[in-house]
Amino acid sequence: MYEEPYKWVEAVGNRRQYLDEQFKQGSPVVALVYDTGILLLTVSKGTPKLYEVYDRLALGGMGHPADLEKLRFSLLEMAHVEGFNRSPSDVTGGRMVKYGIAPVIKQAFEEIFKAPFIVKILLAELGQKAGKDSLLVINYDGTFEEGAQCAVLAASRPVERDMVAYLKQQASTPPSLEQACGMALRAWALGDRSQRKAGEDRSEQNPATTESPAAIDAASLYAHLRDAVAEKTVECALLDRNQPGSSKYRVLTPDELGRLLPKDIGVVFS
């Protein structure tokens, strides 16, 4: 059935369509560099979406939990064996992605008789010095790109672009942790709202519209949050440069989140 080249291309095209569909209901993930580290934030229902990978590496994921677990384990295995046999400073995000999971994801995506990974991954790496942080985003087809100040995962490219534009417009220099928490949560709300809207628009046969970052007001985002966060959990983790010891990953406790997230949202976070 796929022996002719154009049919293979068609099959891969179908795969894209199928995968795009799978992420529609997903919760976006936001990663943002703040003054002493990197913040990762998402809103999850039940299964966590943010994980510690290595001393200076953290992972955020979107997609099928079983696929995410599989890739998370291969990252963990690779990072720890490498860190033990060489040194922890040789375990870099770039190497983990380029020689580790990106080829695996690409291969699974193109082997059209097998199931692809339904997963998008964000890998955050805390640099040894400020300004050396890196944020890598890997798509379901194995393509990846690197960002410096912020990176996001969302259902589609246009939504991701909106979220990044919003984050960039909010601050030019690295914000404080408290500011970063607010920014990340608003960017999440923006992404989640756009995703839902895109779903509704499509059912009405209208093309998706993008919002200009300047026209977005916090109040409307908070209003969306009040609806969206009900019965879900805000998940927030840090790669904190000031954390003592070699492991820099830390999950923010509900108490800390309550203090750090903007007060004017009017949502009680659990």
Partner 1 sequence: MRIQGDFYQLLKEQGYQFGASAVAGEGRDFMTATTILAFKYRDGVLVAGDRRATAGNMVMYDRTDKVLEIDRHSVMAIAGVPATAYEMVRVLEHSFKYYRRTQLQELSFEGKLRAVSKLLKDNVPAALAGTGAVVPVFAGYDFQQEAAKIYFYDILGAEFEGVEYAVSGSGSPTIRGILHYLNTWGGRPLAASTEEEAAIQALRLLTSAAEFDSATGGVNRETNLYPIIKVITQDGVRVMPNDQLKRLFESEVVRHV
Member of 66, 84, 86, 157 binding partner 1 (CB under 8 A) = 84
Residue 256 as a binder of partner 1 (CB under 8 A): the answer is no
User: Minimum Å distance from CB 189 to partner 1?
Assistant: 27
Residue 235 as a binder of partner 1 (CB under 8 A): the answer is no
Member of 213, 247, 262, 267 binding partner 1 (CB under 8 A) = 247
Query: Percentages helix, strand, coil for the chain, rounded to the nearest 5?
Result: 45, 20, 30
Residue 52 as a binder of partner 1 (CB under 8 A): the answer is yes
Tell me the number of residues near partner 1 by CB under 8 A: 16
In degrees and rounded to multiples of 5, residue 30 shows phi and psi of -120, 130
User: Minimum Å distance from CB 247 to partner 1?
Assistant: 7
* Residues pairing with 59 in the sheet: 51, 123
Cα radius of gyration rounded to whole Å, the chain: 19
User: Minimum Å distance from CB 25 to partner 1?
Assistant: 24
Q: Buried (b) or exposed (e) across 236-263, using 16+ Cβ within 10 A?
A: bbbbbbeeeeeebbbebeeeebeebbbe
Residue 76 as a binder of partner 1 (CB under 8 A): the answer is yes
Q: Buried (b) or exposed (e) across 96-112, using 16+ Cβ within 10 A?
A: bbeebbbeebbebbeeb
In whole angstroms, what separates CA 97 from the centre of its chain? 15
Residue 198: C-alpha distances to residues 24, 62, 202, 211 (Å): 9, 18, 6, 12
Residue 94 as a binder of partner 1 (CB under 8 A): the answer is no
Of 69-77, 118-126, 141-149, 185-193: span binding partner 1 (CB under 8 A):
69-77
Per-residue tokens: 76: 């963990």
Residue 74 as a binder of partner 1 (CB under 8 A): the answer is no
Member of 19, 43, 53, 138 binding partner 1 (CB under 8 A) = 53
- In this structure, the strands spanning 57-63 and 134-138 are unpaired
Of 14-22, 24-32, 144-152, 243-251: span binding partner 1 (CB under 8 A):
243-251
Of 22-30, 104-112, 224-232, 242-250: span binding partner 1 (CB under 8 A):
242-250
> What residues line the site for partner 1 (CB under 8 A)?
48, 51-55, 73, 76-77, 80-81, 83-84, 244-245, 247
